[in-house]
Every structure is written in structure tokens, then in C-alpha cells.
Amino acid sequence: MAAERLRVMMTADTIGGVWTFAMELCEQLCAHGDRVLLAATGREPDAAQRAQAASIAGLTLRALPYKLVWMPDPWRDLHAAGSWLQALAREFRPDVVHLNDLSQGDVAWHCPVVVTAHSCVCSWWRAVHGEAAPASWYRYRQHVAATLHAADHVVAPSHAMSHALVREHGPLASTQVIHNGRTACAGQAGKETFVFAAGRLWDEAKNLQTLARIAPGLPWPVCIAGDARHPGDGSTATFGNVRALGSLEEDAVRAYMASAAIYALPARYEPFGLSVLEAAQAGCALVLGDIPSLRELWGDAAWFVAPRDADGLRDALLRLIDDEPLRHALSRKARRRAARYTPRAMATQYREAYVDLLERRRAPENRNHAMVASAGVHP
């Protein structure tokens, strides 16, 4: 990483994997000596999240429960959040603004802006429903496009997500793929005979309802952890045939992964999938949805099943349950593959992107100074 110490203002939501991503990145940046102001929205951080942020020296957390851009009727909240973020920026005076929600990119920032596109309703809709998002999402589409095209640099966590952004929102001037990273926890030496899955139960993209549907045909129990309540409309998803564990703390989820022999996520849409990475680090054999992003990230280290092929999912799980050597071989491959996706590698690339943007922003000023000096003019 470059030696220059930076002041980074970052946004994150407190609802899903973006918070985990932000914590990993903030910890690495602050360890380098940078200062980070993290502005959190979506809902109030819980006690565990506040404690996690407080444990990182050099990180300052500010939070207000403004709606996110994908939530119902968020426009008044987004406007208020923009004013709040600008006030924070005037106080903090960042070198770089890093946005992790697809909004606020077109605010009048006075420094370079990086946007990480962790997901997008338009690409989500196409993956889940097989068609473009309906007219009811037109305002969302326009708002997201404005953010992406106003940003100085757009990052996606996979090439598949980068391609999806261009398909939905048009060519972007400056893009990059930076894979997410996650701190590994040690897995148990002895695995137990159950299938584990984790994700938002209300999110059709996770496709956990298909896993629940085939669970009665498996000799092992299927345990699913995740929030059943939709944060936008308040609806609740319920599944039968499985052990529904509810929303668990991070340590509890990782404990299940350390014990589970198989991790299953037959996703229809997953721009990266931090839960898959955590399961691979814990030595689970992976059974995943056969979609471009997961193929890109996991190659031959997972068993892939078409998301709508319930019979194929059942057969894949039965094969791994019955074939212990194959299961162990797939587990070893997943763990080796997971070693690629470290927080340090992720942070190094982000920080290089920040510094490059700053150097490009400063280049015209430096050229002007050089021209004045060569002309013998002293201000």
C-alpha cells in the first residue's frame, strides 16, 4: 500500500453483508494508519455492530436510520441522508468518499468518489424473474444510474456483477473488479452430519425455499440461519421441513459452519457471497447455484446445480452425503480457493484505487505549478 495516510469517508448499511465488508475494509485501512469515518444507514446499529466498530482504532462511526435506495418510497430519506453526509464531509474533510449504497454519487462532493456496487435491484430482478425490472422500479433505475455515472470509479465484487451493471445501466467510464475478503476462522477437525445454509429468508435470490422443499428427501437435517422479516415491507418468510435457526450473531453462524459438513446455497443471484466464503474457510463442502458469479469465484471448488433444478440439488446433496471421500476432497478444494479472498488483498486494491484517483485529481494542479515555475513566475 502507498505510504500516504488517507482520510476516507465511507457509507454502509447495517442490514446485510455490506456491514461485514465495511468492517473488514475499515480494519485494514485503519491498521495502515488511515482515518475512516463510517456513515451507517438502513437501521440503527445493534450493540454488537457498535462494539465491532468501536474496537477498530482510527474508525469513527456515525449512524442514522435512513432508508436505503431499494426500500419502499425512500426518496425523502435519501434527500435527507445526502444533506447529512455532506455535513459530515464538511466536518471530516475526507480525501476520498467511498459509497456502498447505490445512491448519493451525484451529490456535490469535493473529492474523488468510489462506488462499490454490491448488488442492484435491476440485475437482481432479471436473475430472479428472467426479465427486466418493471416500470415501478423506473425511478430507482434512474437514481442508481445517476450515482454510477457521476462516480469517479465504480467497483464490483465480481466480473459477473460488473457485466450486469453495464447491461442494466450502460457503459461506465472507470470500473474495476475487486473481490471481497474475509478474515478466516478455524474450522473443526470433526464435521457433523448436517447441511447448513445462511441468508435472508425473505430474499428470493437466495433460493432457500428450494432447499427447504427437498429437505425431507435427505437423510441429514437441513439447518438454515437468517432473518425471515423483510426490512422494507415487513413481510415474513416461513419454511417447513428444516431447522429454522432465525437471525444469529456472527459467531453463532460461524460455529455452525465450523460444524457443518456441507454448505448449500442454490442462489439465483449472488454478486459475491460472503457466506459462501465463510463456509469454505470453515471447510464445508460447497453446493452452489450454477450462476456466473459463483462459477467465477469458486471454479472446481464447488458442486454447482441449476437454481431451478430441485431434483438436481437433492441428488447433489445425496451424493455428497453418501460419498465421504468426495465430500472431503471438495472441502479441501474450497478451503484452498478461499485463501485467495483475504481482507488484506481486498484493502490493498481499494487503497491503490483511492491513491490513483487522488493522483489523477492532483495532476492538473501539479502541471499548473510546474508551468508557473518554468516560466519564472512566483505567486
- Has residue 256 been placed in a domain? yes
Residue 307 pLDDT greater than 90, yes or no: yes
Cell (9 digits) for 315? 441428488
Domain-located, residue 311: yes
For residue 150, give the CATH number of its domain: 3.40.50.2000
What local confidence, expressed as pLDDT, does residue 16 receive? 83
- Whether residue 318 is contained in a domain is answered as yes
Residue 196 structural domain = 192-338
> In this structure, are 32 and 175 located in the same domain?
yes
The whole-number pLDDT of residue 364 equals 66
Q: Which residues contact 229 (CB under 8 A, 6 or more apart)?
A: 202, 235, 236
Would you state the pLDDT for residue 1? 46
Q: Number of structural domains, the chain?
A: 2
111 shares a domain with 175 = yes
From residue 149, alpha-carbon distances to 120, 168, 173 in Å are 15, 12, 7
Averaged over 12-26, what is the pLDDT? 95
Task: State the chain's mean pLDDT as an integer.
Answer: 92
Spatial distance between the Cα atoms of 315 and 88, rounded to a whole number of angstroms: 53
- Does residue 163 lie within any of the structural domains? yes
Tell whether the model's pLDDT for residue 206 goes beyond 50. yes
Rounded distance, CA 242 to CA 218, Å?
A: 11
Distance CA 154, CA 162 (A): 9
Q: What is the 3-state secondary structure (H, E, C) of 95-145?
A: CEEEECCCCCCCCCCCCCEEEECCCCHHHHHHHHHCCCCCHHHHHHHHHHH
| Contact criterion met (CB below 8 Å) for 317 and 327 | no
Is the pLDDT at 215 greater than 70, yes or no?
Answer: yes
> Are residues 124 and 79 both part of a single domain?
yes
Same domain, yes or no: 130 and 93: yes
234 and 333, same domain (yes or no): yes
- Asked if residue 375 is part of any domain, the answer here is no
For position 3, what pLDDT does the model report?
63
CB atoms within 10 A of CB 116: 27
Question: Do 218 and 243 lie in a common domain?
Answer: yes
Using CA atoms, how far residue 59 sits from 35, 94, 135, 336, in Å, is 6, 13, 40, 32
Q: What confidence score (pLDDT) does residue 188 get? A: 59
Asked whether the CA dihedral 19, 2, 343, 186 is positive or negative, the reply is: negative
Average pLDDT over residues 63-76: 96
H helix count then E strand count, the chain: 13, 13
The rounded distance, in Å, linking the Cα atoms of 241 and 212 is 6
Q: Are residues 209 and 169 in the same domain?
A: no
Judgement on whether residues 81 and 177 belong to the same structural domain of the protein: yes
pTM here? 0.91
Same domain membership, residue 226 and residue 98: no
Residues 153 and 39 in one domain: yes
Nearest to 21 by CA among 200, 144, 157, 225: 157
In a domain, 379, yes or no: no
| pLDDT in the model for residue 214 | 95
- 249 and 306, same domain (yes or no): yes
Report the side by side order of strands in the sheet with 153-156.
59-63, 35-41, 7-13, 96-99, 113-116, 153-156, 175-177
Q: Is the pLDDT of residue 371 over 70?
A: no
For residue 56, tell me if it sits in a domain. Answer: yes
Per-residue pLDDT tens over the stretch 237-260: 677 788 888 888 888 999 999 999
For residue 302, the Cα-to-chain-centroid distance in whole angstroms is 20
**Are both 145 and 14 inside the same structural domain?**
yes
Asked if the structure places residue 81 within a domain, the reply is yes
Q: What is the pLDDT of residues 135-179, one digit of tens each?
A: 999 999 999 999 999 999 999 999 999 999 999 999 999 999 999
Calculate mean pLDDT across residues 309-314.
98
**What pLDDT, on the 0 to 100 scale, is given for residue 8?**
98
For 290-302, the pLDDT digits (tens) are 999 999 999 999 9
Q: For 84-121, write each residue's pLDDT tens digit.
A: 999 999 999 999 999 999 999 989 999 999 999 999 99
Indicate if the pLDDT at residue 235 is higher than 80.
no
Band (pLDDT 50/70/90 cuts) for residue 186 is low
pLDDT for position 365: 60
Confidence of residue 379 (pLDDT cuts 50, 70, 90): very low
pLDDT at 232: 64
